[in-house]
Amino acid sequence: MHGDVGRRIAWPQTLIAMGRQRRAALSANDLRFVREMPRKGVLHCFVLDCSGSMLGGARLALAKGLLIALFDRVSAMRADAALICFGGAGADVRFGPAVPRWWNERWLDPIGGGGGTPFAAGVRCATQLLERNARRRPAQQRWLWILTDGRTADEAARPVHADEVVFVDFEEGTIRLGRCERMAHAWSARRFTPEELIG
């Protein structure tokens, strides 16, 4: 641990490590640290699937709850966040990029669900946001989080300016299509269930 003194904790990776062990309390073995990013900053871009399939089994409500926890963590890190929602006919930016200093559940309450799953539109919106951010703040690390059940026929390329990608897989039920797992593999991304992140 002595070599880690003075290093900043990388909370997303630490949160994931805790979830894997299903522990309620943080231990020293869970800690992950920021790599070679002194004072350059981080942007966490969250892309939320608001399609009709996410309404089943209260998956959208679970995703909103997870987002609140993640935004709280981003705020504590003084990192930047952005939120993109896709569903129905398209996708749009709902927040940021900015430090979410006053984030709470009231921001998410108006977000409804329904309609189709325009996954490609959500990724395109995220790609444009990350490209603009890369021009303005090239030294900033950019994380892309995609919260979806993967119930889409859309295909999309991994955004070039996403340094790290995490799929949060909300698919449930006995018959699973496994699209999140396949997309995560194709994008060389990480994939977790919400339960693994919530712990």
Lowest mean pLDDT among 18-27, 36-45, 46-55, 170-179: 18-27
Separation between Cα atoms, residue 192 and residue 199, nearest integer Å: 11
Separation between Cα atoms, residue 135 and residue 96, nearest integer Å: 16
Among the listed residues 191, 112, 109, 119, the one whose alpha carbon sits nearest the alpha carbon of residue 157 = 119
CB-CB contact of 149 with 172 (8 Å): yes
Of residues 29 and 152, which shows the higher confidence score? Answer: 152
Residue 120: predicted pLDDT: 93
Cβ neighbours for 175, distance < 8 A, ≥ 6 positions apart? none
Cβ neighbours for 13, distance < 8 A, ≥ 6 positions apart? 32
Average pLDDT of span 34-56: 80
Domains and CATH numbers, the chain: 40-198 (3.40.50.410)
pLDDT at 180 over 70: yes
pLDDT at 36 over 90: no
Residue 1: predicted pLDDT: 43
CB-CB contact of 85 with 111 (8 Å): yes
Cβ neighbours for 132, distance < 8 A, ≥ 6 positions apart? none
Separation between Cα atoms, residue 16 and residue 22, nearest integer Å: 10
**Residue located via tokens 């669900």:** 113
β-bridge mates for residue 100, sequence order = none
Residue 96: predicted pLDDT: 82
CB-CB contact of 84 with 92 (8 Å): yes
Residue 59: predicted pLDDT: 87
Residue 11: predicted pLDDT: 74
pLDDT at 161 over 50: yes
pLDDT at 6 over 50: no
Residue 128: predicted pLDDT: 97
